[in-house]
A = this chain, B = another copy of it.
Amino acid sequence: MDLLDGIATTRAIRRYRPDPVPEDDLAAILWHATRAPSGSNRQPARFLVLRDGPAATEAKAILARAFRDGWGAKRTDHGFDRGSGADPASPKARASRAMQQFVDNFERTPVVVLACIRRWRAPHISEGGSVYPACQNLLLAARALGYGGVLSMWHGFVEGELRACLGIPEDVVIAATVTLGVPEGRHGPVRRLPLRDVVYDDRWGADAAWAVDPPDTRFTGAGPAREARPAT
């Protein structure tokens, strides 16, 4: 797969076939993840792979609860069942159904990777620069090998339990939960804001007239009043 095509078409995948991910594919995915940069090449990121081992099975059950709670709260807060969401054929209702089946089946997610980081100084946004680039590489490499997944932060609801279950030390931050599996069914295109809404030239807020989207780009709406979209 072409590098630019891969970047352009890697989207959140939340429905998986039951097929496991072979260990050599898993190794390749993680190897590519770890080619990402980190501050001073310090490499503080660690990847805890949960498959069907004893701790993993327990951890997936803990996470499943968190994901169900997380989605339940979001479904209400973001009004997924209101407005256009009342129409089962709407994008909002489809997104809602996709999320519901994702959390309902969480325990059967073939692979869950906890992307962690050893904290080496006081919390600061920049520490994310030493782990999230690797998460993106992970998702791109997964796509190259026929897998898909999604980055989520819902582990936050059960962090204490999860740490105890998996023996995660106190100086380690869980930066993301990444699910992985062979995609099941059809998935829509990547949808984003128009490029000119997010790129500025020379000064904050200054229009970048050259920041033109390719002709077949698919867009999301903008602003807080927009319709809810599939969550990442």
Contacts and interface: CB of A to CB of B under 8 A. Distances in A.
Interface in A189-205: 190-193, 195, 198-205
A230 interface: yes
Interface stretch (A50-58, A61-69, A100-108): A50-58
Interface string A30-69: 1110111111110101111111011110000000000000
B172 A34 contact: no
Contacts of A132: 128-129, 131-133, 136
A120 B75 CA distance: 19
A63 B217 CA distance: 34
A37 B150 contact: yes
Nearest to A163: B204
B35 A12 contact: no
A35 B56 contact: no
Interface in A1-49: 1-12, 23-24, 26-28, 30-32, 34-41, 43, 45-49
A212 interface: yes
A140 B54 CA distance: 37
Nearest to A200: B48
Contact of A156 (B4, B126, B213): B126
A135 to B, nearest CB: 6
Those 7 A-B pairs whose CB atoms lie nearest each other, nearest first: A128-B128, A53-B202, A132-B132, A3-B6, A133-B136, A23-B210, A37-B232
Given A49-B208, A125-B175, A133-B135, 18 more contacts: A3-B141, A10-B35, A26-B210, A34-B192, A37-B136, A38-B232, A40-B231, A41-B191, A41-B229, A41-B230, A43-B192, A53-B201, A123-B123, A129-B135, A129-B175, A133-B133, A133-B139, A133-B151
